[in-house]
A and B are shown apart, each in its own frame.
Chain A
Amino acid sequence: DQQVKQNSPSLSVQEGRISILNCDYTNSMFDYFLWYKKYPAEGPTFLISISSIKDKNEDGRFTVFLNKSAKHLSLHIVPSQPGDSAVYFCACRGGSNYKLTFGKGTLLTVNP
């Protein structure tokens, strides 16, 4: 039972345009959400997070949106840069068990 789904295995955008990565979850106990970026041969790097009491969090070019009623979150990258090309994982935690549950990732390719 996959509690966190990233339905797009890959996404390709042009440099300077917006990248939108999506994530859906099923567990209503999740109350904290994170995005990680991963380059090949490296561990995931924390990017941005949002708690369930907010619906938006912004950090520079990165904005995370949370729609609790739809159990959906998205990561917007504006403007996209070639260095943003990586696998992006969304992760959720909450309830009595604070382990992170990850989606399977979306490979973002930003073309120059």
Chain B
Amino acid sequence: KAGVTQTPRYLIKTRGQQVTLSCSPISGHRSVSWYQQTPGQGLQFLFEYFSETQRNKGNFPGRFSGRQFSNSRSEMNVSTLELGDSALYLCASSLVVGSGGDTQYFGPGTRLTVL
């Protein structure tokens, strides 16, 4: 079974631009979560989608948004990029949401660099 895939793997943007990242979950998984990883803050939760609905949201500004499609694929968008948005963005999928003990499986991440 194929794992979680994320595209693109690397991205370079300039301040003020916007970016869209894509995530395809493991087949059959309906929940997709997004995380931001930076050296100083570790992995920080952005949001979680299940059945095309945002179920949980982390403490990030409104410039960060996402959506999920009917096939469970998800995208996240960052508008008006800032230098501090440079990070590794990780997507994780799981079978369901809100199920205690449901393991999340991570993709390889998209490395975003903002110049």
Contact = CB atoms under 8 A, between A and B. Distances in A.
Nearest to B6: A43
28 contacts: A32-B100, A42-B109, A43-B6, A43-B92, A43-B106, A43-B109, A44-B43, A44-B90, A44-B106, A46-B103, A46-B106, A49-B101, A49-B103, A51-B100, A91-B43, A93-B100, A94-B100, A98-B98, A98-B99, A99-B48, A100-B33, A100-B92, A100-B104, A101-B45, A102-B35, A102-B42, A102-B45, A103-B42
Contacts, number: 62
B56 A99 contact: yes
B98 A34 contact: no
B42 A98 contact: no
Interface string A26-49: 000001101010000111111001
A56 interface: no
Q: Is the interface of A mostly helix, strand, loop or mixed?
A: strand
Contacts of A104: 41-42
A46 to B, nearest CB: 5
Contacts of B64: none
Contacts of B100: 31-32, 51, 93-94, 98
Interface in B70-115: 90, 92, 97-109
